[in-house]
Structure 1
Amino acid sequence: MNVLTLSIKQKYFDEILAGKKTHEYREIRPTNAKKYITYLCGGKEYKADEELPEEGEIELKPIKYDAIKLLTGEYKGKRPYMIIEVKSAEAVILTDDNGDDIVYEYQGEEYLAAQMDYTLGKVLEKHID
């Protein structure tokens, strides 16, 4: 089983456990993209840190995870966690009020604002003190 491990605030952890929060969103940045997506361009798949071609339309392809391990609490000792099923994942390019792509800059390079949208399923395992 392919499991993505993420930290989460206690409030959202509790909402997911209670079944009130059914989606988990994560911002895709140049520093974390390879954890969430690969790129498709011209029928070829590229890892996030590989060089993409200058020409052609680029599609974001979510990396397939079966579950997400959500950890909360302080970074010491045994932290409360849950492992929750991922029903689906979508990489979404963010746009402004005019429908234009939002562009940020990181270390002199421009990148599109994007986020992962994970649809959560059932809790597979949990450990709460």
Structure 2
Amino acid sequence: MKILTLIIKQKYFDEILSGKKKIETREVIPTTEKKYVILDKDRAITDIIQYNAIRFYVGYKKDRATALVEVKGSHLEEVHDENDQPIFYDYKGEQNMMIDIIYDLGKVLEK
């Protein structure tokens, strides 16, 4: 089983456990992109890294709450402004389009 590890706040952790929160969204940025996507030699996204589950941790303390949650699917979404135009940002002198990865959450496998 391929598992992604993510840190979240208590509020969102509780919403996931109760079934209220059914998706988890993360920004695909240069410092974390290799965790979420596969890139070609020009840093273009070629695919999404597929995970079977996400291990959520609440905060950074040693004795924190944790849960393993099934991932039913994932997809990428471009982030657009109020005029429906893609948003770009500068990172180390390079322009990057804002992209989110969306994980569709399934059942809680372990808590």
Q: Shorter-chain TM-score: which interval?
A: over 0.9
Runs of 4+ in 1 over 6 A off after TM superposition: none
**Cα distance in 2 for residues equivalent to 1:63 and 1:19:** 24
Partner of 2:104: 119
Is 1:95 the counterpart of 2:80? The answer is yes
Give the gaps of 5 or more residues in structure 1.
Answer: 40-45
**Cα distance in 1 for residues equivalent to 2:99 and 2:9:** 21
Partner of 2:48: 62
Partner of 2:26: 26
- C-alpha displacement at 1:94, in angstroms? 1.0
Partner of 2:94: 109
TM normalised by structure 1 equals 0.80
- C-alpha displacement at 1:79, in angstroms? 1.6
Give 3-state SS (helix, strand or coil) of 1:13's partner: helix
Give the gaps of 5 or more residues in structure 2.
Answer: none
Does the 8 A contact of 1:37 with 1:62 survive in 2? yes
Structure index of larger Rg: 1
Change (3 A) 1:111 1:100: same
Give 3-state SS (helix, strand or coil) of 2:90's partner: strand
Q: How many residues of Structure 1 are paired with residues of Structure 2 in the alignment? A: 111
TM normalised by structure 2 equals 0.92
Identity of aligned residues (%): 46
